[in-house]
Structure 1
Amino acid sequence: MEEKMNSGLVTSSRKKLTIVDTDVHHGYRAQSDLYPYLTKFNAERFAEWGFGGLSTHLYTSSGGLHGQRVDFDAGEAGDGLGTIGDAHYCSTRLLDANGIDLAVLTGGIAGAASALPDVDYGSALCRAFNDHSMEHWIAKDPRFRLNLDINSQDPLGAAAEIDRLGSHPAVCGVMFSCGAPKPFGQRFYHPIYEACARHGLAVTMHFGSEGEGVNPPPSAAGFPSYYIESRQLRPPAYAVHLASFIFEGVFEKFPTLKVAMVESGFAWVAPLIWKMDLDWKGLRRHTPWVKRLPSEYLVDHFRFGTQPLDEPADPEAIKHIINWIGGSRTLMFASDFPHWDADDPMMTLSDQPEDLRRRIFAENAIETYKLSLPAISQAA
């Protein structure tokens, strides 16, 4: 069978590899799609004010066509930059066309909702989006899995939402946005992690809403001017939370918790590991509850999406980076569809050993999110 990317034709060689895509941006077609899931008051408020003036996208002209792949059908775009508005389009255009067995949905409004000063309103919007996702996405295709949207700045409300839907077999995690008033390892967030532990859910972190609403500026020097500058701020946005999780002792209190960092890349992880280990050896008396090397916690508890895939000038360098961060356990394939720089699974790490690709393209995600392959999967 002739190989055609995104044509719906899948070669037998492609299907030898089970694929779990851990970063698929789903959404809704129009703001009005959420009205049925809100109280009358909140629906009127959302219609008039939306997210209270938050843009959620500070930097325009973010590549591609309105932030999306140029071959993406604009008629299927969601109400927001880089989201898909229709589940059927996602099933055919992404899953069928690329032989993807499971798609972990990471779209939504968690970042904007968590940046609102009114936490009750933010939590109501998250509940509405979750109910919409259940009806218009999860019910449409057995290959979809859902990260629940939660308001990270309303830990008790977030825990209640996790308890409401966390036992659904399609729910595999909860969404956090990197933008936040305080690092995620702090005890303020413990009710959320307790709820995740009760339901066996992972925490999925995605950059977004930095500098919005109640959140601090996206960098120590304030706001950059251009989108290309803002992309360089992603690694430190993830790194501050990663260090907080470890040094605040979250994994000693919640030993089963997993944290997935998607659309983060991974080349930045290696020097952070080295620095954390070195500093812990000299300063460990400050955090005596951290009983192991930070690098050990990292390999046991953190997972990183492959997208955007770093491409060193020396192709061999990527092999060293994967080895340095224990990539056979820590990396998970992510397409980031439908963003302009979305990655093709057939071209991602295609020169890596087959056993490593199996880990990255399926097994790590299956273990992290406690997934089971649907009957529709040819690999089941």
Structure 2
Amino acid sequence: MEEKMNSGPVTSSRKKITIVDTDVHHCYRTKSELFPYLSKFHAERFEEFGFGGIEMDPHSSSGGYHGTRVDFEAQENGELFGSNGDALSCGKRLLDAYGIDVGILTGGPAQLASALADVDYGSAICRAFNDYSMEHWIAKDSRLRLNLAINSQDPLGAATEIDRLGSHPSVCGIMLSCGAPRPFGQRFYHPIYEACARNGLAVTMHFGSEGLGINPPPSSAGWPSYYIEMRMLRPQFYAVHLSSFIFEGVFEKFPALKVGMVESGFAWVPPLMWKMDLDWKGLRRLTPWVKRLPSEYLIDHVRFGTQPLDEPADPEAMKQIINWIDGSRTLMFASDFPHWDADDPTMTLSDQPEALRRRIFAENAIETYNLLLPAISQAA
């Protein structure tokens, strides 16, 4: 059973295993912290206009910047919240408290920057946030790794940014927001994947900015009324891009590319996988470059974060879902810290076999993100 991070870590008699957390949100506390990393022109623009109002998503649970803020003191001070706003707090409240060996940072403004019509401005914000993250997060705790913020609507600029920082040993991937004007398998994005391939980086996808800025509405029927409805829509965000990656032939062109989908859950994956295989068998002449079953590409190239964990009433059903998607290869632990529904690693999938838990809690992430962690690997 899953346990939320509401009352502190739950003690367990199980043997300690290595844990890589693939979804740790981080951010700056106030806009001024990005000013030193922006040109004077962009700093003044960011101070006055920010993201031009699109950060006020009425369907986030707090009505504020990308997702839930749980530090109410920070909110009262007008601060943007991400792991209490600094690496020290993240280290204490998450890594130390829950025995997590490595935390992969997934926060930042990439979701909003990629929704801006002005791609130069969006790319400048991403570049500034990456420099800020390197100095104020990565340099402060050796257990942290970074997904670079990139502007997905500026593929050439994104590739330049990936080449600028992609060789750093603490950079393990890039961030793509599910909110986008076109599915991510289309050739428009290929310069980004070419840069990832050059630098040995994974692609990390996270929902965000659907319906904001230049992006289309979050559903085919437009906007839902309530935040809980928006949560129900999330699987379709990932499903659209997943299908596009496979049927546009991205994994044929970039055979080493890995895609991690975090804060996606995974209970929605089996029926999509079955439908892709069935339809491909009848329509394969329309996409002759897709040379294998879609499910085979999925299992070889795509990984899913465990959070939010959709738990059936019957524990045996969870085991079946994991088996259907070959979870020993496709699942990675994700806490979604510090959000209100963050998962406690000591309780997540705690009834699963030890060998499977080792794959989910460390080994799959190490392989997906090319993490060079000899000390941790030996501890596992």
Same fold? TM cut 0.5: yes
Deviation at 1:13, TM superposition (A): 5.2
TM-score, normalised to structure 1's length? 0.93
Task: State whether residues 6 and 93 of structure 1, in contact with CA within 8 Å, keep that contact through their aligned partners in structure 2.
Answer: no
Taking structure 1 as reference, are residues 7 and 232 closer, same or farther at Cα in structure 2, changes over 3 Å only? closer
Could you tell me which residue of structure 1 aligns to residue 109 of structure 2? 109
Could you tell me which residue of structure 2 aligns to residue 322 of structure 1? 322
Report the residue type matching 2:144 in the other structure.
F
Report the residue type matching 2:45 in the other structure.
R
Q: Distance between the aligned counterparts of 1:376 and 1:244, measured in 2?
A: 35
Task: State whether residues 29 and 85 of structure 2, in contact with CA within 8 Å, keep that contact through their aligned partners in structure 1.
Answer: yes
Deviation at 1:253, TM superposition (A): 0.4
Task: State whether residues 105 and 144 of structure 2, in contact with CA within 8 Å, keep that contact through their aligned partners in structure 1.
Answer: yes
Could you tell me which residue of structure 2 aligns to residue 167 of structure 1? 167
Could you tell me which residue of structure 2 aligns to residue 351 of structure 1? 351
Taking structure 1 as reference, are residues 113 and 79 closer, same or farther at Cα in structure 2, changes over 3 Å only? farther
Taking structure 1 as reference, are residues 361 and 289 closer, same or farther at Cα in structure 2, changes over 3 Å only? same
Point out 4+ residue stretches in structure 1 off by more than 6 angstroms: 5-12
Q: In the alignment, is residue 199 of structure 1 matched against residue 199 of structure 2?
A: yes
Taking structure 1 as reference, are residues 60 and 272 closer, same or farther at Cα in structure 2, changes over 3 Å only? closer
Q: Distance between the aligned counterparts of 1:79 and 1:226, measured in 2?
A: 25
Q: Residue by residue, what CA displacement relative to the aligned partner does 1:314-342 show, whole Å, maximum 9, x if unpaired?
A: 12111000000110000000000000000
User: 5 Å matches for 1:238-249?
Assistant: 238-249=238-249
Q: Distance between the aligned counterparts of 2:176 and 2:42, measured in 1?
A: 23
Matched position secondary structure for 2:379: coil
Q: In the alignment, is residue 368 of structure 1 matched against residue 368 of structure 2?
A: yes
Deviation at 1:15, TM superposition (A): 6.0
Task: State whether residues 148 and 174 of structure 2, in contact with CA within 8 Å, keep that contact through their aligned partners in structure 1.
Answer: yes
Matched position secondary structure for 1:203: strand
Report the residue type matching 1:306 in the other structure.
T
Could you tell me which residue of structure 2 aligns to residue 17 of structure 1? 17
Q: In the alignment, is residue 274 of structure 1 matched against residue 288 of structure 2?
A: no
Could you tell me which residue of structure 1 aligns to residue 126 of structure 2? 126
Q: In the alignment, is residue 290 of structure 1 matched against residue 290 of structure 2?
A: yes
Matched position secondary structure for 2:85: coil
Deviation at 1:313, TM superposition (A): 1.5
Taking structure 1 as reference, are residues 31 and 15 closer, same or farther at Cα in structure 2, changes over 3 Å only? farther
Q: Residue by residue, what CA displacement relative to the aligned partner does 1:159-184 show, whole Å, maximum 9, x if unpaired?
A: 00000000000000000000000000
Deviation at 1:52, TM superposition (A): 1.3
Could you tell me which residue of structure 2 aligns to residue 217 of structure 1? 217
Deviation at 1:266, TM superposition (A): 0.2
Deviation at 1:303, TM superposition (A): 0.2
TM-score, normalised to structure 2's length? 0.93
Equivalent pairs counted in the alignment come to: 372
Taking structure 1 as reference, are residues 187 and 319 closer, same or farther at Cα in structure 2, changes over 3 Å only? same
Could you tell me which residue of structure 2 aligns to residue 141 of structure 1? 141
Task: State whether residues 23 and 334 of structure 1, in contact with CA within 8 Å, keep that contact through their aligned partners in structure 2.
Answer: yes
Q: In the alignment, is residue 80 of structure 1 matched against residue 85 of structure 2?
A: no
Gaps of 5+ in 1: none
Task: State whether residues 59 and 227 of structure 2, in contact with CA within 8 Å, keep that contact through their aligned partners in structure 1.
Answer: yes
Q: Distance between the aligned counterparts of 2:298 and 2:201, measured in 1?
A: 18
User: 5 Å matches for 1:17-56?
Assistant: 17-55=17-55
Task: State whether residues 8 and 92 of structure 1, in contact with CA within 8 Å, keep that contact through their aligned partners in structure 2.
Answer: no
Could you tell me which residue of structure 2 aligns to residue 67 of structure 1? 68
Report the residue type matching 2:91 in the other structure.
S
Taking structure 1 as reference, are residues 12 and 310 closer, same or farther at Cα in structure 2, changes over 3 Å only? closer
Could you tell me which residue of structure 2 aligns to residue 236 of structure 1? 236
Deviation at 1:34, TM superposition (A): 0.1
Q: Residue by residue, what CA displacement relative to the aligned partner does 1:20-48 show, whole Å, maximum 9, x if unpaired?
A: 00000011111100000000000000000
Task: State whether residues 6 and 97 of structure 1, in contact with CA within 8 Å, keep that contact through their aligned partners in structure 2.
Answer: no
Matched position secondary structure for 1:132: helix
Matched position secondary structure for 1:316: helix
Matched position secondary structure for 1:204: strand
Matched position secondary structure for 1:98: coil
Identity %: 79
Q: Distance between the aligned counterparts of 1:62 and 1:79, measured in 2?
A: 13
Task: State whether residues 27 and 79 of structure 1, in contact with CA within 8 Å, keep that contact through their aligned partners in structure 2.
Answer: no
Q: Distance between the aligned counterparts of 1:327 and 1:109, measured in 2?
A: 30
Task: State whether residues 238 and 264 of structure 1, in contact with CA within 8 Å, keep that contact through their aligned partners in structure 2.
Answer: yes
User: 5 Å matches for 1:335-350?
Assistant: 335-350=335-350
Deviation at 1:12, TM superposition (A): 9.0
Report the residue type matching 1:119 in the other structure.
V
Taking structure 1 as reference, are residues 367 and 30 closer, same or farther at Cα in structure 2, changes over 3 Å only? same
Q: Distance between the aligned counterparts of 2:358 and 2:102, measured in 1?
A: 14
Matched position secondary structure for 2:35: helix
Q: Distance between the aligned counterparts of 1:261 and 1:127, measured in 2?
A: 23
